[in-house]
Structure 1
């Protein structure tokens, strides 16, 4: 789990130790696509995204597939992305176009800092995929009060250190946490519901329903994101 990332674990080989230090927990592609659908629902005018913890593209590529123009970066050169460097750095470069949204699965220990920095950059909103336990912090309470939507998954989102395993099971609950900038809130079809929740010192919840995994998993995800060899069946279907 993310809580053990960055700590020394006896028996780690060099690669595993690096993945742990980087807090590299790749996003299941279907969960990224669910995030894209959520953003489109909340902000139909969304267009451009910066994915600042892109890793090997498990989030950025599905966001692009869902219609976003995506600029991707990561602190480590995983072999994917437009820039290698620290998103939290003050002298980081800017993408070649204005950024509507910051969308990412951040290192859990730095998730709050990613949201705060994202709100300084994004013109329309910030969305992060985190363990549902991200809510549980006295220190994050002011940030959570500004949140527009929490979108927990009804089904589990299996995430592991270092790679995506499409056959993995998990008992950990994940959710998308979303903040809207004033302009995006004004345009949002959910504005009335969000503001009504805020008026009651609450935030809106929108559950991502069962069946999302099967609906949003593509035939070639295993090849692209899990590194599996193409199957003869996919070749026949033209999906490999």
Structure 2
């Protein structure tokens, strides 16, 4: 994700809890970021930690947060009460095609039955959440170079 973001933003700081060959290795939830450290926090957090990632990202971003998450992130009384009721996203962008994701690597042949969406919180916007769709685009945006590095074997990292 950071490689693509660098094509659009002047500076991109990236990190991950494990070494996938890009960015610093650090835990986003434990690293002592100062408030308003970054213009934007754009992330694909682990699903079970997405709520905590969001709350920390809102604290350390000046302009906003964008989270790529499973569509079912919208579902939950707990998340409604702790997030959506008082801090709804300004944009919810649902992918109309399935976006296959494989932990820690890219796989051109991967498939999935899981739906994903971008959840966006723009700090200077006061409008209610706007529903949008991400049209089919995978084939037009993929490049052979995206797959040039061999996938990281998570067993080598001792990651379950």
Q: TM-score range by the shorter chain?
A: 0.7 to 0.9
Q: How many residues align?
A: 148
Counterpart residue number, 2:84: 144
Question: Shift in Å at residue 222 of structure 1?
Answer: 1.6
Question: Shift in Å at residue 224 of structure 1?
Answer: 4.1
With over 3 angstroms needed to count, the CA separation of the structure-2 counterparts of 1:79 and 1:219, relative to structure 1, is: closer
TM-score normalized with structure 1 length:
0.56
Mapped to 2, the partners of 1:60 and 1:68 lie a distance apart of 12
Q: Which of structure 1's runs of 4+ aligned residues deviate more than 6 A? A: none
SS in 2 for 1:92: coil
Counterpart residue number, 2:135: 209
Between Structure 1 and Structure 2, the one with more strand by share is 2
After superposition, the C-alpha distances for 1:187-217 in whole angstroms (9 at most, x for unaligned) are xxxx7xxx2xx2xxxx21110012x112211
After superposition, the C-alpha distances for 1:38-87 in whole angstroms (9 at most, x for unaligned) are xxxxxxxxxxxxxxxxxxxxx11111123341101122233321x32221
Counterpart residue number, 1:159: 101
RMSD, matched Cα: 2.2
With over 3 angstroms needed to count, the CA separation of the structure-2 counterparts of 1:225 and 1:138, relative to structure 1, is: farther
1:220 corresponds to which of 117, 138, 145: 145
With over 3 angstroms needed to count, the CA separation of the structure-2 counterparts of 1:226 and 1:109, relative to structure 1, is: same
| Structure 1: stretches of 5+ with no match in the other structure | 1-58, 186-190, 228-240
Q: Is the 8 A contact 1:86 1:92 kept in 2?
A: no
Question: Shift in Å at residue 218 of structure 1?
Answer: 2.0
Mapped to 1, the partners of 2:20 and 2:69 lie a distance apart of 21
Mapped to 2, the partners of 1:123 and 1:216 lie a distance apart of 29
Between Structure 1 and Structure 2, the one with more helix by share is 1
Instruction: Name the larger-Rg structure.
Output: 1
Q: Is the 8 A contact 2:33 2:60 kept in 1?
A: no
